[in-house]
């Protein structure tokens, strides 16, 4: 599987809204796996000063990641392949 980065502009979002978006990403990924799509939410980093959010997903295709975010109703600005360099 490959890693994909999703960039979001979430200026003004509340902590409840941010938590809700994360839960939606996690539950939608689980539902898609249940339907046979190999996809996983990895983590997010939120920059409260400017409202930017970076989310990482593991999936076979960029299309699957886009479908997850569209289905979950989480807006995004950009979706690109990435390298997760976590130790």
Tell me the three state secondary structure of residue 16: helix
CA within 13 Å, CB half, 37? 21
Alpha carbon distance, N-terminus to C-terminus of the chain: 18
pLDDT of the chain, 87 residues: tens digit per residue? 999 999 999 999 999 999 999 999 999 999 999 999 999 999 999 999 999 999 999 999 999 999 999 999 999 999 999 998 978
pTM reported for the whole predicted model: 0.93
């Amino acid at each position: 599987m490959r890693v994909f980065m999703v960039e979001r502009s979430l200026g003004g979002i509340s902590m409840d809204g941010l938590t809700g978006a994360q839960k939606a990403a996690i539950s939608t990924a689980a539902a898609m796996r249940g339907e046979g799509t190999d996809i996983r939410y990895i983590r997010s980093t939120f920059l409260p000063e400017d409202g930017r959010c970076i989310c990482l997903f593991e999936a076979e295709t960029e299309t699957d990641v886009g479908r997850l975010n569209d289905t979950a109703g989480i807006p995004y600005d950009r979706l690109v392949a990435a390298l997760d360099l976590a130790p």
